[in-house]
Each structure stands twice: as structure tokens, then as C-alpha cells.
A and B are shown apart, each in its own frame.
Chain A
């Protein structure tokens, strides 16, 4: 039964389906990435340049334990 169903499926639309899947993911991720706050992005991009832990960000000195 399953074999019959599978063998009757039309796979020729796969390239279009693939394109739609990609487009949805691409738009979602681009939207998220582009709406990230500048300060957050700067903090993340500074990670390789610092020996100290960058994220979580250091607290102001007055709040240090």
C-alpha cells in the first residue's frame, strides 16, 4: 500500500518545493539577523579579540561581589 502511494508520487516538483523551503528559512533567518541589536552584535563579534569572557558581559564594578 505504502509502496503504491510512494511510487505514484510525482517527484518532479521537488526542485520547486526545495526552493520554497529554502526561501522561507532564508527570509526568517535574515529577518532575525538583521533585527539584532547593534550592541549585541558588537559584543558577539568582540569574542575572539578578548582574553576575558565577553558574554555574559561584565557587570559594572560597583555591582561586583
Chain B
């Protein structure tokens, strides 16, 4: 370090700032009880030359680290539970029947994903940002109060998610399941508490240059705000129910613009910021190439935002959008690997440390998984590869190699590095940390390898055709093949959780040996002057040369000193990052909302009836989209298996879209055509395995037992009418119309030999009847012929 510093001091630097020298402050003469910044009175000759004393707020980092470990344990344990429920769907037995499907895979899977993303990774991001930002800015966080509001607000949001998702209170959009009151709270906590505090800290920093980690944090805050706000615009029906303002294709594009970029700007960008700060610290050497980190940052900001549509290949999405997604998806490979190489080469000359230091081990494997995931991601965005991988377990393996390997191991490395510094004592056991590393690494490999095999097997079995062109395997034939792989996944998941248990134990024991009071070091540095002038050579290299004035100006522009200005001006830098993100988003999204030809209207596609709306809401609440897609791709095997491929115009009344991203069960886009029998659905809900041998779908008996609240339908219809003024049914008559249709559906079931009563009430009053009415309707409109105009009651009768 001394060598580096002397090198830096001797170097001729263009930007020689006209500011006073920073000095170390003697903490012995300073009362650091409050830990707040003060101005040294001995240096108040001028505003620019005054020295300030400051200390860092590490309490907030300690809280976030604790929350990270706590929620990490819960999120991964929940993952193991949903893994078990996949192979033992009726594990909850009577409990499930009594309390609805609280313990079903479909309701707990969103809880697992939300906990892993927002609780585990989220708290880790905040710990990293609060620790590194203060040190990179040489300033305490701007407001301790905002820091604490942020912490408790975020924990409250996580708790609210845990108390709503298992009870079916969901928007039905992946990773954006939380309902609007919680979304509102997220916006407040993220932007008002966290964003404001962060930006104000940047503004009040003492380090002139904003280190590259801070750029990644800025991009995270800006983009997540945009994604969250625009994807969650809804029409509320009550506190626990809302309808997305977007429908069908538009909703799908918006959702995967959000979904893909949540991975980018929540699970990648802040972790890269973390990597660029904590890896050099742990290796005690600067990042391999600062230049590469700059290119890495801007490339990701520009490319990521365009790539969302690659999640929707071969769906009812316009070709240009799909190609755009693929193109930018593939392009992501290079900057991502630039970052990976930069991370690994930071350890040049320090590889011997990796053998002995568990922190570096975690970082190295974490970065390696970043490389793996960012090679695989672009590959999966290629249409032909995606045709095989989409809807299969391959996606699950890809996601988990990123989440467990990249995010998980970077978090663990950071926590092990932070613990001695935060608790100001030795780490309780390096050996336990080593054990954690090996158990975790083996756990990841044992997880992803079987799931990769399962995914590829699934994809190949689904598309396998005989010489005559018939399907070789029915859907249910593929399920038993998956079971051993799914069990292997449970075992591997347990190993990973065990690793976190070791981390928790190590953290508790380290915390218990902390000093009675934490030492709060006090630093001293001058405030950045307001009239700072950097003596950058900003003249054109062609000055005085006999060329056109334009050439002189161009040569001056090419010096790109304007970027140096941005680096010093956080607000300007933020605006530029926002512009890059907004421009890309606008180019991707606006055409979808403006051009009619993107979504050709189908005259036979009509709005849902009141009862069907209620049924669709049950479909969303039960989380059916977690296992069933509603999107038949124009691929040979899919058309043979499921029927006519899905058209964009078919889902114009779907708020939200329910195309899904995975097929644990078969696609349901034409279920109304292929399985029109109400009795079959009734019996299937009661006992899926009795109807389809080998099915892993849990019983939904509670839907048969529960009574439908017909009075609750009217506000839902009202919201649909608001979204579609042409909605043909009278809102005031919603209840009456729903009852009328329920009687018809029930009569059909009874006529086929079904029960008249169930659980003490007539089946026409059962919740399941609404869901059956919806399923009988799904996918049928396209195949209808244009009908003459009819009155409301006639339309219902038809």
C-alpha cells in the first residue's frame, strides 16, 4: 500500500485540486459520544478550509447484517419446504383442508422467492451500501433517523409479505406479488428513506471522486424505483386486491421488463458494487482495472434494460420485441465477463491468500458463479435454446446458480469479512466458516446438477415425436422421471441451509465476545469546497491548428472531460444514469402501448362474465401460475399437445396476464376446449392424483368446501368496467348474473353424476364453481364463430 501511495503522490495528476490537505484527527481530544459530525473550530478561517470530524454509523450495518442472516435462514428453509411440497404435495393434509391452501407449493413459492430476493439479498445490499458508502464518501450517513426508518420499514414490509402471500393476497405477477398497500410502503421506504439518505450522503461527501461502487448503487436506486412504480400501477378493489392497469401482452412485456431488470438492478448491480468495494478490501489490493470497471458499469446500464423480452420468446409477443430481447441478452455476456475477469484478476498475486482465507474463498466462488450465470443467461436468451429450456427446470437451475452461488456466496464473504470489524473482536471460528464454505459449495453443485438434468430431460421429453409425428410422452409421463431429481434438490437445499446455520452460530458467538462498548474511531477531513475548480486541461488539442472550428470543438469533446464532471456531481450523474435507463425502457415499451398492429383484435374474444372474473381471481390467489402456463407456443409439439397456439388478442382482458414461466403441470391456455367437463374439474380439485395417476398437484378440497362470497363480485366487476368501458355486463347486476351462471355450471356437474351438496351447502354456492366457470371459458373464445348481437342475459345464456 505504501508503495502504491507513494506512486500516487509522485505521479503528475492533471486534476490537482485546490483544497486543503486532509489530516488525521486525534480522537483522544474528541468526544465521540454522539458520533455526529462537528466542525473543528480551529480551522474556521474560511468555509472551504475548515476540517470536519466524523465517525461512521456502524450500528445500522450491524442491524442489517443480523437481518440478512435471519431472513437468509428463513428464505432458504422456505425453499426446502416448497421443495418437499413439490414431491409430497399433500404433506399438510388436514391442516391444508381446514385453513385453505396456506401450505401449498403455489402459495409458498412466492413467499420463498420474495424472501430470498427482498429479505435475504435486500438486507445484505443495505448492509453493504451503508458500510461502504460511508467509507467511500468519507462521511457518515446523512441522517441516522432515515437509516433507522429504512431498517424498520423494510423489516415491516417483509413481515407484511409473510402475512399476506400464504393467504392468497397477491397480484399474481412473479416477484411482484405484493399487493398495492405494501407496494406503496416499498416506494416510501426505498425512495424516501433509503434513496434520500444515500443521495444526501453523496452530496455531503468529502471524497471528491465517486468510486465505481457508488455508481452501481446509484443505478440500483434509480432503476429499482422506476421498475417498481411502473410495474405496480393498479386499480385497487380493496386493501387486498387490485387489477394491473396493463393486460395481456402489454402486462407480460411490462412484467418481464420488471422481472429481468430486478435480477439486473437488485441482484446484480448492487452486488457488483459490493464486489468492487469488498474484494479489494479483503485482498488488500486495488481492483485489477478501474477502466474496465467503468466500461463494465456503463455497458450493463445500457444493455440490461433492453433484454427483458427474451423471457417471452415464442409467446404472443411481436417478433421485433423478441429479437430485441435476444440481441441485447446475448450482448450482456461480454460486459458481464469483463466484470468477472476484473474481479478474479484483482486477486493477482494474492491467490495464496485464498487457500487460507474463507472470505476470499466465498468471493472467488461467488464471482465464478457470476461468470457461469452470465454465460448461461445470454445462451438461454437465444430463441432456439429458449424453445427447449423455457417452462422447464433448466430455468430453476439457472436462477439458483445465480442466487445461491453469486448472491449467496458474495453475501457470506462480505459478512465474514465484516464481522470482526463490526463486532470489534476476532471471528469466533474460522474453521466453522471453512465448513460453511465447503458445505455451501457442495450444496450448490448437488442442487444445480440434478435440476439441470431434470430441466433438459423435461424439455426433450415434451418435444419428442414418433416417426409418425405423434407425441411420444404424455405430460404425466414426464413427472415421475423428475421425482428423483426433485428429491436430490431437497437434500442439497438442506446442505445449503445447514451452512447458513453455521454462519448464524458463528455470528452469535462472535457477537457475544464483543467489547462492552464499541470503539467509534473519529476521522478528520476538509469539507469539499463549493467553488472547486479542477485544473483539467480542457482545451482542444487542435487549438491553433488551421482546421475548421467544428473540428477543434470535436477534438475538445473527444477528451470527454464532461464525464469527469459527472463523477463529481452525484445529481448530474444520477440524471444521466436515469436517462440511459428511461431511454432504453421507452424504446422497448412505448411501441407496445402505441401501435395497434402489435395486438390484433379478435372479434370473438369477449370480456369475462362476473362469475368468471371471480373464478379468475381465485386462480390468481391460489398461485396456479406457479405451476401452469397459459401460453401455447407455435412449436410443433406444443400444438399437438395443447391445441391452437396462443394469439396476442386472446389475453386483452387478462388483468394480470397469466402466461406463467414454468410447467410443473400442463399448459392451460386451451383447457376450456380440451377439458370442458365441469364434473372432471370438480373431482380433480378434490383429488388430483385420483383423476391423474402420478399427479403432484395438491388437493384443493377447500375450494369445494368454502362458500363463494357473491357480494364480493360487484367491486371486481366495477374495476374491470373501469379498465374496459365496453364491458357488456351491468355492474349492479353482477351478483345476480354470477348466481345465474353458477346454477348452470352446478347443474351440469350434477347432471353428469356430481354431488348436489358438499360440506353442508349446495355446490352452486361453492368457491370451486367460480373457478370451474373460468376454466371452462379459458381458450375457447378464439375458436368461436362471430355471433350476432345479443342482449346481456342472452349472451350469458350462450
Contacts and interface: CB of A to CB of B under 8 A. Distances in A.
B587 A14 contact: yes
Interface in B499-552: 523, 525-526
A58 B18 CA distance: 10
A38 B281 CA distance: 21
Contacts of B15: 40, 56
Most chain B CB within a 10 A radius of its CB, from A11, A41, A59, A60: A11
Secondary structure class of chain B's binding surface, majority of residues: helix
A48 to B, nearest CB: 5
A51 B597 CA distance: 59
Contacts of A45: 280, 286-287, 290
Interface string A14-53: 1101110110011011111111111111111111111111
Contacts of B591: 9, 11, 14
A11 B5 contact: no
B797 interface: no
B205 to A, nearest CB: 9
B7 interface: yes
A24 to B, nearest CB: 10
Interface string B308-345: 00000000001111011001100100000000000000
A33 B294 contact: yes
Nearest to A8: B595
Contact of B209 (A38, A44, A64): A44
B118 to A, nearest CB: 27
B667 to A, nearest CB: 28
A47 B138 CA distance: 10
B356 interface: no
Which range contains the number of B residues in contact with the other chain?
A: 35 or more
Given A7-B595, A56-B19, A44 B290 contact: yes
Given A28-B560, A40-B14, A55-B208, A48 B587 contact: no
Contacts of B284: 49
Interface string B282-320: 001111001110110011001100100000000000111
B594 A48 contact: no
Contacts of B598: 11
B711 to A, nearest CB: 41
A62 to B, nearest CB: 11
B11 A33 contact: no
B8 A57 contact: yes
Interface of A: 6-7, 9, 11-15, 17-19, 21-22, 25-26, 28-60, 64-65
20 contacts: A7-B594, A12-B319, A13-B320, A14-B591, A18-B324, A19-B327, A25-B298, A26-B298, A29-B294, A30-B295, A33-B291, A33-B295, A39-B12, A42-B290, A43-B209, A49-B1, A53-B525, A56-B15, A58-B21, A58-B22
Question: Closest 7 CB pairs between A and B?
Answer: A56-B17, A39-B11, A32-B560, A45-B286, A55-B209, A53-B22, A11-B591
Given A42-B4, A53-B207, 14 more contacts: A6-B595, A7-B597, A18-B324, A29-B295, A29-B299, A33-B292, A34-B291, A36-B294, A42-B290, A46-B4, A48-B213, A51-B523, A52-B22, A54-B209
